[in-house]
Amino acid sequence: MPAKNKKIRFFGNLKWIIFATHVAAMLLLFCSLLSWRVSPLKTNFFSYIGIAFGGILLVNIAYVIFWIVFSKWKFVLIGIVSLVLCYQPFATFFPMHLFPPSAPKDAIKILTYNVEGFPGERDKKTNEHPILDYIAATDADIVCLQEYLVSKTGQSIISQQDVNRILNKYPYRSVTGLESSGKYHLYGLACFSKFPIENAHEVHFESSFNGAVVYTIDIEGQKYTVANVHLESNSIRAEDKKLYSDFLQNSDSVKLEEVTTNIRSRLGAAYRQRVGQVQKVKNYIATQKTKGTIVCGDFNDTPISYTYSQMKKGLEDAYASTGFGPGITYHEDFFLFRIDYILHSKDIKAYRTKVDKVTYSDHYPLRSHLQLNIQAP
């Protein structure tokens, strides 16, 4: 009898220990709500919660399933309530539009793509142009490119003339070189459009490799603001990615503390820099007197972040409102995140936003159909 009592007591204590860890997971889930509200200038803690949101969400769902298996319905209810209370970040991170309606015929197609300097097209001796051929095949009306790298001389890597030849369906082009451009090459942001680009204004960042350009584009007689944005990169080096990859594959040989300390030191400064960069872009957009606004590009931050929430203010996220799944756009070395976006003003309606899983760059391209001139709610 005493042995039986000990066994009952042991499993009773174990149940509450497991529930305590579930409570900790729920607290982290609730903290994700603050990732949208607390600036990294105050603390980076909630930014780290945001980047780990996918794992935190999976853990909370796993706990609910665990309690269902053991018929602990009170704990199941608590877990489900916590998930419901965090529905907004859940739906933003993992939208579930299984059967989105088809785009109307008058919708325009927009594409954003961080091309990583055209890694497969740098050799002048090859006739293969996978990224440019992909862009041409999408037949997008407006194309915004980040990490755009071309040769000024046409000798070593692909030149602007080569790009223009392949993307000849775009009569209007704007290419902006950032500070890292050199004597023989241009590195920066580019926009290719079937509609007239009337103006291109660079929003300058204190950064050699990142920036933003805001275009005024005349779309069938109406002027629209289109921002092409590449916010501060996280400066995670190849050796950092290898350390993370080694940890995932063999956690015994690589300490978690070593991985997290290494990555935190890289991320913290970038989180803080992006705060000011977003504000610069938003301030300039606010001065534009156009029919509507489209903001797209590489934000280098997840949907559960202060960067995202500030850039999205007054706008809609095309993928969150029409996509399905986590929408991963960055996919290198087990770093799998949605960091590329198409945002738009409320008088524009998005349809069928999707990530194309083409592996020509360390980013996947993102494209959407946008219907203009609708009545804002």
Q: What pLDDT sits at residue 75? A: 92
Regarding whether 118 and 190 lie in a shared domain, the answer is yes
Phi, psi (5° rounding) for residue 32?
-60, -30
Last residue of a domain, one of 93, 119, 140: 93
User: Which of 36, 64, 93 represents a domain boundary (last residue)?
Assistant: 93
Determine, yes or no, domain membership for 98: no
19 plus 159 within the same structural domain: no
Encoded tokens for 111: 């594409």
Beta-bridge partner residues of 282: none
- Residue 334 within any structural domain of the chain: yes
Determine, yes or no, domain membership for 119. yes
For residues 35 and 64, membership in a common domain is answered with yes
288 and 221 in one domain?
yes
- Picking from 93, 125, 144, the residue at the C-terminal end of a domain is 93
Same domain, 215 and 301: yes
Flag whether 377 is in a domain.
no
**Residue 99 is assigned to a structural domain of this protein:** no
Residues 222, 353 within the same domain: yes
Q: Report the 3 state secondary structure along 187-242.
A: EEEEEEECCCEEEEEEECCCCCCCEEEEEEEEECCEEEEEEEEECCCCCCCHHHHH
pLDDT tens by residue, the chain, 377 residues: 455 555 556 555 777 888 899 999 999 999 999 999 999 999 999 999 999 999 999 999 999 999 999 888 999 999 999 999 999 999 999 999 999 899 999 999 999 999 999 987 766 666 788 999 999 999 999 999 999 999 887 766 788 998 999 999 999 999 999 988 888 889 999 999 999 999 999 999 998 899 999 999 999 999 999 999 999 998 655 554 454 455 445 544 445 455 555 555 668 889 999 999 999 999 999 999 999 999 999 999 999 999 999 999 999 999 999 999 999 999 987 789 999 999 999 999 999 999 999 999 999 999 999 999 766 55
Provide the CATH number for the domain around residue 262.
3.60.10.10
Pair 328, 198 in one domain: yes
pLDDT (0 to 100) of residue 258: 53
- Whether 376 is in a domain gets the answer no
pLDDT at 152: 84
Q: Which residues form the domain of 83?
A: 2-93
Q: Are residues 59 and 206 in the same domain?
A: no
Question: For residue 254, what pLDDT is reported?
Answer: 46
Q: How many CB atoms lie within 10 A of CB 279?
A: 12
Q: Does the residue 153 lie in any domain?
A: yes
> Do 9 and 152 fall into the same domain?
no
Contact assessment for residue 110 and residue 367, using Cβ atoms and an 8 Å cutoff? yes
Say if residue 289 is in the same domain as residue 145. Answer: yes
Same domain, 71 and 220: no
Measured CA to CA, the distance from residue 275 to residue 308 in angstroms comes to 10
At a CB cut-off of 8 Å and minimum separation 6, what does 115 contact? 131, 145, 146, 147, 148, 149, 360, 361, 363
Same-domain status, 130 and 265:
yes
Q: Which residues contact 367 (CB under 8 A, 6 or more apart)?
A: 109, 110, 111, 112, 138, 140, 342, 353, 354, 356
Domain count, the chain: 2
- Is residue 200, in this structure, part of any structural domain at all? yes
